Amino acid sequence: MTFSWYRPAKQPRRVAVLSVHTSPLEQPGTGDAGGMNVYISQTAVEMARRGVAVEVFTRATSSEQPPVVELAPGVLVRHIAAGPFEPLERHELPAQLCAFTSGVLRTEAFHEPGYYDLIHSHYWLSGQVGWLARDRWGVPLVHTAHTLAKVKNAALAEGDTPEPRTRVIGEEQVVAEADRLVVNTDVETDQLVGLYGADRDAVSTVSPGVDLDRFRPGSQAAARRALGLPPDAVVLAFVGRIQPLKAPDVLLAAVARLIERDPTLRERLVVLVAGGPSGTGMELPHALRDLAGSLGIAELTRFVPPQSGDNLVNVYRAADIVAVPSYNESFGLVALEAQACGTPVVAAEVGGLPVAVDHGVSGLLVPSHRAQDWADALRRAALDRSAHAEFAKGALEHASGFSWQRTTDALLAAYSEATSAFRTAALEVAV
């Protein structure tokens, strides 16, 4: 390592953010774009407001993408050529890490030494790049895994593909090398310590936030008009990537069970699915539509593409309940966004969702993925109007405790801790 030009600072001047496999410019809800994209863009913008310049490095997927795009004042997105100019499956990306790393290092080489004060890598692929850049530049590495292979493999959905051994090894290496590990919840800290041998003292818990200016209560009637939904329907919504891990099929099976118990509900229920195929869901892109047909609820199910901006807000406002039935979630930003709009959430009791959802207050957590259990929870949260009103009130109050400003405060504190750890290690090497 080289250390001579590293200058002490309470707050970094410029941070290199690495996001190899997905760009903060992409629309969440399809492909590999999801909560991680939102996390990166929101924290980058908030850091820039505080005077910290942020440069996000991501893989170029089209020859028409400009080399550099300004996401917001003080935030640049750099498209690095690594492999073909087209989207690649995640299992194809490790072969492009050498080229990506070269592009990152070459960018820094055009500047004076010490141009970047810190590296923050997101997901294990980026961690591999960050590990090398850290040693070359002599600056701290902060890493956020977002998801962990060993955790995902322990809770696979039926028909889903296990994460490969290559990823497990890669994650173990990054955990060992990072100066600071940032997690969403204390549950994830326990997973890193228990499954990956992480040093608990090197882990910072930083809860994600929600844009409370954008996601807020509004007219349900207006939102339903915008989406073409019946004004008097009971709307159950799913928002996110359509893949086995996210388990939208659980919601459909639960709705079928509700109608089986009470056929009159067929006249009232609408299932709204907002998202696109992703991951192993790409192999059977029409599987969810086919399932709705086989369950006899095709006419109740509305499919819309991934939504952004005011359109996404309308989905949350239009819904009586937003369902998050995932088999694994490191946090669950969809749950938080929905609650900020005053919409209760019914979610699986997995990963970080018990933090994102206050059970019995802002919604309900379901300890299984069985259709009957989900039907029971949906009936209570959506069809019991007294309970629904209480959950809606609790949802808004719970979400108000989360913001991207608060997240950025904690993230900058983690950067400071990483810097201290890095300096300590440098002094030990020097001695």
Concatenating the DSSP letter of every residue in 256-311 gives HHHHHH-GGGGGTEEEEEE--B-GGGGSSTTHHHHHHHHTT-GGGEEEE----HHH
- Is residue 34 marked as binding? yes
- Coil, helix or strand at residue 77: strand
- Say if residue 35 carries a ligand binding annotation: yes
Tell me if 27 is assigned to a ligand binding site: yes
Q: Is residue 1 annotated as involved in ligand binding?
A: no
> Is 266 labeled as ligand-binding?
no
Distance of alpha carbon 376 from its chain centroid, rounded?
A: 28
Residue 116 is labelled as binding a ligand: no
Chain centroid to CA 39: 7
- Length of the chain, in residues: 431
In 172-233, where do the E strands start and end?
A: 180-183, 203-205
Taking the C-alpha atoms of residue 193 and residue 207, their distance in angstroms, rounded to an integer, is: 18
123 appears as a binding residue in the annotation: yes
Buried b (16+ CB within 10 A) or exposed e, 153-191: beeebeebeebeeebbebbbebbebbbbbbbbbebbbeb
Q: Is 32 one of the annotated binding-site residues?
A: yes
Ligand-binding annotation for 329, yes or no, is yes
Which residue intervals of 23-177 are DSSP H helices? 35-49, 97-109, 123-137, 149-154, 165-177
Identify the helix (H) or strand (E) that includes residue 69: strand 68-72
Is 21 annotated as belonging to a binding site? Answer: yes
How crowded is residue 419: how many other Cβ atoms within 10 Å of its Cβ? Answer: 23
Flag whether 343 is marked binding.
Answer: yes
The helix/strand/coil state of 224 is: helix
Inter-CA distances, 405 with 7, 46, 252, Å? 26, 7, 36
Q: Is 393 annotated as a binding residue?
A: no
Which helix (H) or strand (E) is 388 found in, with range? helix 385-399
d(CA 70, CA 92): 28
* Residue 233 in marked binding region: no
Annotated binding site: 21, 27-28, 32-37, 90, 123, 147, 167, 241, 246, 307, 316-317, 319, 329, 337, 343
Annotated binding site for 1D-myo-inositol 3-phosphate: 21, 32-37, 90, 123, 147, 167
Annotated binding site for Mg(2+): 316-317, 319, 343
Annotated binding site for UDP-N-acetyl-alpha-D-glucosamine: 27-28, 35, 241, 246, 307, 329, 337
